[in-house]
């Protein structure tokens, strides 16, 4: 038990990775593992890895291969897919760790780098969703006043700023990660302290609550605008439908975990006192909601498949090309799929 727990006399914390699987319990309370978590959590992470890796890789390849000038929302889609792609690359390590009862086999370096990558991509994903919402707000609610803001230079500046901010905000995770020798191979965790808990709370407010407020404001304004002006193009309506779904699934995935994380932080700061039963429920809830949050990294490509006709057609074409022999250019051009201007939402064909 660390010095903070002795001083507080209330709560002891043992963090498995970042603040995603936090073991919290009152002193003297029995700590029971979630039944069969060593079985279904690794399986869930492996499935999320394969879906997220190939799905987001295809999104990046498709968007980067588009001809013509790139829109601001296109850049947000690419960067969001890149953030999810980096995120899922860490899942195999945590799948093995979860299967072995949170033991870490990959050394202190990968413990630090993997945790830092999770933190940075989590923050950047939230900020890119916020940027996507602001872009749609400016394009629909303030179309004339926002022309100077929605330029190629703005695209590069905005994307670079989001990544820079995310890298800086992840520094507390980078400096606090360590491989503790609690088991044979060690546990990838971080030492608990009042400063660290306060920093986590500040990051939660800055990288989740504030973007959430901005996102809700943007879409409430957009919906109010659309109700007054119903003559919107089919492509724009489809684009908004997809973005609404992306933001909605993000909230459903991360809101439960962030809510429980707030309670856990309050307990670590001795602002809230829970009974043994409540603390055990909180611990299990954090484990389950962390799994839900981690699987979000593979969701966006699935949304594109179901809601974006052009994305489905492109995916079908690429899949068929893998199993067909190359054909002459004339034959391929004559039989290629064509798309109308209203056939897609986020992935329109240019040129």
The 10s digit of each residue's pLDDT in 194-248 is: 788 788 888 889 989 999 999 989 888 888 887 776 555 566 667 678 878 888 8
Quick one: 3-324 is in which CATH superfamily? Rhodopsin 7-helix transmembrane proteins (1.20.1070.10)
**More confident: 87 or 224:** 87
- Look over the chain and give the mean of its residue pLDDT values, rounded to a whole number: 77
pLDDT of 75 above 60? yes
**Mean pLDDT over residues 55-75, rounded?**
80
Q: Which residues are paired to 306 by β-bridges?
A: none
The pair of three-digit structure tokens given for residue 120, joined into one six-digit string: 């940075």
Most confident segment among 115-119, 245-249, 321-325: 115-119
C-alpha dist (Å) from residue 303 to 16, 112, 140, 279, 351: 31, 32, 22, 36, 25
**More confident: 212 or 337:** 212
User: Which is nearest to 98 in space by CA: 152, 60, 42?
Assistant: 42
pLDDT of 25 above 50? no
Residue boundaries of the structural domains of the chain:
3-324
Measure CA 24 to chain center: 24
- The alpha helices in the chain, defined as continuous H runs, are 3-8, 37-64, 72-89, 91-99, 107-140, 152-169, 171-176, 194-204, 210-228, 234-268, 276-295, 299-307, 309-323, 329-335
**Mean pLDDT over residues 100-108, rounded?**
85
pLDDT of 53 above 90? yes
Residues 178, 189 contacting (CB under 8 angstroms): yes
């Amino acid at each position: 038990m660390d010095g903070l727990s002795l001083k507080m006399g209330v709560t002891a914390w043992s963090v498995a990775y970042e603040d995603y699987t936090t073991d919290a319990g009152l002193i003297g309370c029995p700590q029971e593992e979630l039944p069969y978590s060593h079985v279904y959590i690794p399986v869930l992470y492996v499935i999320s890895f394969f879906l997220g890796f190939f799905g987001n890789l295809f999104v990046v390849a498709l968007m980067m291969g588009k001809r013509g000038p790139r829109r601001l929302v296109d850049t947000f889609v690419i960067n969001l897919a890149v953030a999810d792609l980096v995120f899922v690359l860490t899942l195999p390590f945590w799948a093995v760790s979860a299967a072995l009862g949170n033991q870490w086999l990959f050394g202190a370096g990968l413990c630090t780098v993997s945790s830092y990558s999770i933190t940075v991509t989590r923050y950047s994903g939230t900020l890119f969703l916020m940027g996507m919402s602001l872009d749609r707000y400016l394009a629909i609610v303030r179309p004339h006043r926002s022309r100077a803001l929605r330029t190629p230079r703005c695209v590069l500046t905005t994307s670079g700023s989001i990544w820079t901010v995310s890298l800086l905000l992840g520094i507390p995770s980078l400096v606090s990660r360590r491989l503790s020798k609690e088991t044979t191979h060690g546990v990838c965790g971080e030492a608990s302290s009042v400063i660290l808990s306060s920093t986590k709370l500040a990051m939660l407010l800055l990288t989740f609550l504030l973007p959430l407020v901005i996102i809700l404001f943007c879409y409430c304004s957009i919906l109010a605008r659309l109700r007054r002006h119903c003559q919107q193009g089919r492509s724009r309506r489809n684009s908004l439908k997809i973005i609404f779904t992306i933001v909605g699934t993000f909230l459903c995935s991360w809101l439960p975990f962030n809510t429980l994380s707030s309670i856990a932080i309050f307990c670590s700061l001795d602002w809230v006192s829970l009974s043994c039963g409540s603390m055990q429920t909180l611990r299990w809830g954090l484990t389950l909601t962390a799994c839900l949050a981690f699987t979000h990294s593979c969701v966006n490509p699935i949304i594109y498949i179901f809601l974006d006709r052009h994305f489905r057609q492109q995916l079908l074409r690429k899949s068929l090309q893998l199993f067909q022999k190359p054909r002459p250019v004339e034959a391929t051009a004559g039989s290629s799929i064509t798309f109308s201007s209203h056939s897609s939402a986020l992935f329109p064909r240019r040129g």
